[in-house]
Amino acid sequence: MALFSRKKHPDGIWNVIAASSVGTLIEWYDFYIFGSLAPIIASQFFPKSNPTAALLSTLATFAAGFIVRPFGALVFGRLGDLAGRKNTFLLTLVIMGGSTFAIGLIPGYDKIGFLAPSLVLILRLLQGLALGGEYGGAATYVAEHAPPERRGYYTSWIQTTATLGLFLSLGVILITRHSLDADRDASIAKFEQWGWRVPFLLSILLVGVSVYIRLRMKESPLFSKLKEEGTVSVNPLKESFTHKGNLKMVLLALFGATMGQGVVWYTGQFYAQTFLETVCKVDFEQTRTIVIYAIMMATPFFIIFGSWSDRVGRKWIMLAGMALAVICYRPIYNQMYHVTDLTGVDRIDALDKEDHVITPVKGGTASLQTTTRVREYDNGIGTREVVKDTLYADGHHALKPVSKLSKLLPGSPYWKLVWLVFFQVLFVTMVYGPIAAFLVELFPTKIRYTSMSLPYHVGNGVFGGLTPFIAVLLSTIYPGDPLVGLWYPIAIAVVCLLIGTLYITNKKHLYVND
């Protein structure tokens, strides 16, 4: 406990942390609910049967994360270094919350046609832009209020928000999904019809509270000092990226820290979920609750590692997290795969169930046959396979029936998976807990917002955001190896680990007031 009890907390620091963290958490929540509800959103706004709508879907998915987020870092970073931290991250919060709320109000493609996916695309791009501007502001704001020797500890609260935002989004989605009707299946059906809008609409309440709190905050003392002295940067973009002394630090931050941190973050919290659902075929809700439990248990470690970095320096904690990820990913995912693998496990034939439902399709030329097969295995794992097949009037079937298999896990393998995901999130806490303090200490006050935002969002948005996509791509190119997708985060983390080890210093730059 000595880790947390060394000194009295400075006046007002908890208000600063609360104002910054709550807003940042809500921004992450807003950003993630779109991703978590992507299949439902696609069916409502981006029908695959229409190529233009599908195209807009691709743009919304790829452009928001990879281009707009770093661009938002530049736009709002510049604004934050010119106009102040408080006003800028207030603006990003309003843009994010407004966009999320508006997505919840847009009528579906069947009601207003192309206008629906076009509006969703614009709002999603605004979300990406706002997210790009938020984090740097919040981290800078807290760091500039924090006492130098406790900067890692206080900024680590900001670091919990990305994970808690994911936690909150998964929780709200699961609760909404089950509370719309007393009957479970009816509730899920209602959620898919209209209930998915609730998590989006809820955002406006959360943002309202957060704006109220942030409006009462004062500007960062260091930025106010610069303003009084008249030394605010005239052109922070130019100073950050054309001045060799700054540019080399921006590049070091990206290649020696945030690039590896980004892939570790996305592997532990997103790819783990994708892997469980698509490769291991674990049930939709179990996959999410596994991630929720793992996050819940690991979140305090953001604070622990952030605080520890005040004592031992930021470098080795972050790099140890990367090294552990590089060494452990394949064994961990191998275990995840084998825990759910049913090869060689005996089936309990007496418990087999099969059910057929035939639904006529409009027009009467065909009907849809849905076959549900429920199986139980000796190790306690149950499977549910739903096969959808089109039966034509002339008697022939669809060329390729659509089949979906999901596994329901009993206690022991379920909790084993929770622990395996927990270890991955633990690596996340090591690389991510101290990184805000590390980035803040790398750049001078007058260009800090701009300079730290870009490497952070390129590292996370581009290198990290690509993790699930590249992992799935690798598994389609090399289908024989279910773990092949891990080579991407491992390769990026190895390069970052080498660069970080060689070039980053472990010295703590206590004085950031210049």
Cα–Cα dist 14/390, whole Å: 60
CA angle 142, 145, 146 (to 5 degrees): 85
The minimum distance between CB 510 and another protein, in angstroms, equals 10
CB of 389 to another protein, least distance (A): 26
* Interaction of residue 425 with another protein, rule CB under 8 A: no
* Of 13-21, 77-85, 191-199, 458-466: span binding another protein (CB under 8 A): 458-466
Residue from 32, 255, 293, 301 binding another protein (CB under 8 A): 255
Q: Is 399 in the site for another protein (CB under 8 A)?
A: no
Residue range at the interface with another protein (CB under 8 A); choices 124-132, 287-295, 341-349, 506-514: 506-514
Cβ–Cβ < 8 Å for 141, 220:
yes
CB 345 within 8 A of CB 378: yes
- Are 88 and 449 spatial neighbours (Cβ–Cβ below 8 Å)? yes
Phi, psi of 2 (to 5 degrees): -60, -25
Q: How many alpha carbons lie under 13 Å from residue 352 in its C-beta half-sphere?
A: 6
List 18, 40, 63, 94, residue binding another protein (CB under 8 A)? 63
Tell me which residue of 221, 152, 163 sits closest to 24, measured CA to CA. Answer: 163
Applying CB under 8 A, does 426 fall inside the site for another protein? no
Instruction: Please give the backbone phi and psi of residue 24, each rounded to the nearest 5 degrees, phi first.
Output: -65, -40
Give the 3-state DSSP-derived string for 8-49, with helices as H, strands as E and coil as C: CCCCCHHHHHHHHHHHHHHHHHHHHHHHHCHHHHHHHHCCCC
**b (16+ CB within 10 A) / e for 2-36:** eeeeeeeeeeebeebbebbbbbbbbbbbbbbbbbb
Q: Is residue 503 within the footprint of another protein (CB under 8 A)?
A: yes
For position 122 contacting another protein by CB under 8 A, the verdict is no
Restricted to residues 69-98, the positions that interact with another protein (CB under 8 A) are 70
Q: Which of 18, 42, 54, 408 binds another protein (CB under 8 A)?
A: 54
Whole-angstrom distance between the N-terminal and C-terminal Cα of the chain?
A: 33
Q: Is 466 in the site for another protein (CB under 8 A)?
A: yes
Does 462 help bind another protein (rule: CB under 8 A)? Answer: yes
Residue from 1, 2, 399, 502 binding another protein (CB under 8 A): 502
Q: Least distance in Å: CB of 171 to another protein? A: 31
Minimum separation from the CB atom of position 223 to another protein (A): 14
Which residues are paired to 354 by β-bridges?
Answer: 373
Q: Which one of residues 8, 49, 346, 511 is an interface residue with another protein (CB under 8 A)?
A: 511
Residue 498 binds to another protein (criterion: CB under 8 A): yes
- Is residue 58 at the binding interface for another protein, with CB under 8 A as the rule? yes
Question: Is residue 245 part of the contact set for another protein (CB under 8 A)?
Answer: yes
Determine if 67 is a binding residue for another protein (CB under 8 A). Answer: yes
Stretch touching another protein by CB under 8 A, among 27-35, 62-70, 184-192, 351-359: 62-70
Min separation Cβ 55 and another protein, Å: 6
Q: Residue 82 burial (CB < 10 Å; 0-12/13-18/19+)?
A: middle
Stretch that binds another protein, among 66-74, 75-83, 127-135, 276-284 (CB under 8 A): 66-74
Site for another protein in 180-209 (CB under 8 A): none
Q: Are 450 and 240 in contact (CB under 8 A)?
A: yes
Helix and strand tally (H, E) in the chain? 23, 4
Decide: helix, strand or coil at residue 370.
Answer: strand
Q: Under the rule (CB under 8 A), what is the footprint of another protein?
A: 51, 54-55, 58-59, 62-63, 66-67, 70, 243-249, 251-252, 254-255, 444-445, 458, 462, 466, 473, 495, 498-499, 502-505, 507, 509, 511, 514
